[in-house]
Amino acid sequence: MSDPTKRVQEAVDAPDDSLHPKLKRLFRLQWEPAQEAHVLLYPEGMVKLNQSAAEILLRCDGSRDIPTLVADLEQTFNATGLGDDVRAFIAGARARGWLE
């Protein structure tokens, strides 16, 4: 039997740049006025997202690979060097089962 901790660590370590991350059908991303934030809804509950997480997940629609997603964020926010942080977030979101 494989070690689930190792699988999670592998997912966190290295998202493949060719991936086109997409929110799994089980989850819904929406603006929640009561929270004054984007939230990720799923049958068992809700995750309140900070602005950075929301901006990344809003772009995880399956149409962009990771370098394109990073470039879009950097252009939108007039920033550079976001790649490592975006990749780390995507890896964590995949490990949590949020993304395909």
Dihedral (C-alpha) 37, 45, 55, 8: value to the nearest 10 degrees?
A: 150
* Tally of helices (H runs) and strands (E runs) in the chain: 4, 3
For domain 18-95, the question of CATH label 1.10.150.20 is answered with no
- Chunked into runs of 10 residues, the chain (100 residues) has average pLDDT values of 44 75 97 96 95 97 96 98 96 95
Determine the pLDDT at residue 13.
Answer: 58
Quick check: 29 and 69 in contact, CB under 8 A? no
Q: Which of 29, 2, 34, 7 is nearest to 91 (CA)?
A: 7
Determine the pLDDT at residue 15.
Answer: 80
